[in-house]
Amino acid sequence: MEKLTVSELTSSNYFIWALKMKAALSLKRLFSVIENEKPLGLEGKALTDWSTKNEDAVSYVKLSLSDEHALQYANEDNAKTLWEKIKSNFTGQAEDRKIYAGNELHNLRLCEKEKISDYIARARGLATKCASLGLDVTERELAFYVLRGLTGKYAKIRGILKTQRENSIDDLLETLSEEETLQNNVGMPTEVSNPDLAFTAVGRQRQKRVCYFCRKPNHVMKDCFIRKRIEAQKKPRFYNSSREK
């Protein structure tokens, strides 16, 4: 019997295991014996065909179990009953883990001194964990949680990016990494060994950039005159009472 390449069932991957096992058994034309009870009145070749399919399905499922779990179902020889017992035993535990994973994603926060690349990777890992437990997380939802988890020095850019709902996770990674670099370079010496070369390199780089504030090309957000004008308008203007005298 040809072996199916389905990941071994563990205590934390039931939903993804069941999805792959169902697909694998369907390819082998065996899932019918898991979905349906044994038909009544089978005889001759029909009975032989059903028995062969049932035995193959049971074998495939058991071969995908860990040693511990395989022993637990060692005496079960009906494919449908085996499938339902596994589902019953694992679904409750998986539901709890799905709730925990969802809460982890909802409470995602950027840690102090955590790099943006590590933060995004952590968010993607949580989304993958949720998916493995049957909790789908869309790209838009993941971007929402990533932005909501930004704190401190990223508060201003978070407000800007929240208005740009079309941003993908890759867009956020690029923009936030750029902001991280700018923040880290604050206060550093500006002298360079070759000013002309540096000016040319910066000019070429900016021609490839699109400002994430006004969405226009050839400059970056920190140099955006529209952003600077809006921020200047927001600053409080103090009333000079001496002019009224």
DSSP string, 91-160: HHHHHHHHHHHHHHHHT--PPTT--HHHHHHHHHHHHHHHHHTT----HHHHHHHHHHT--GGGHHHHHH
What per-residue confidence (pLDDT) applies to 212?
61
pLDDT of 7 strictly over 90: no
- What would the pLDDT profile of 137-188 be if each residue is shown by its tens digit? 888 899 999 999 998 888 888 888 887 777 788 888 888 888 888 877 754 4
The number of beta carbons lying within 10 Å of the beta carbon of residue 90 is: 20
How is the chain split into domains, by residue range? Answer: 13-94, 108-185
**How high is the mean pLDDT of the chain?**
78
% residues pLDDT > 70 (the chain): 73
State the residue for tokens 């062969």: 52
Radius of gyration of the chain (CA): 29
- How many whole angstroms separate alpha carbon 157 and alpha carbon 224? 13
- What would the pLDDT profile of 93-139 be if each residue is shown by its tens digit? 667 777 888 899 999 999 988 999 999 999 998 888 888 777 888 88
Q: Which residue has the higher pLDDT, 134 or 212?
A: 134
What per-residue confidence (pLDDT) applies to 69?
82
pLDDT of 199 strictly over 60: no
CB 8 within 8 A of CB 64: yes
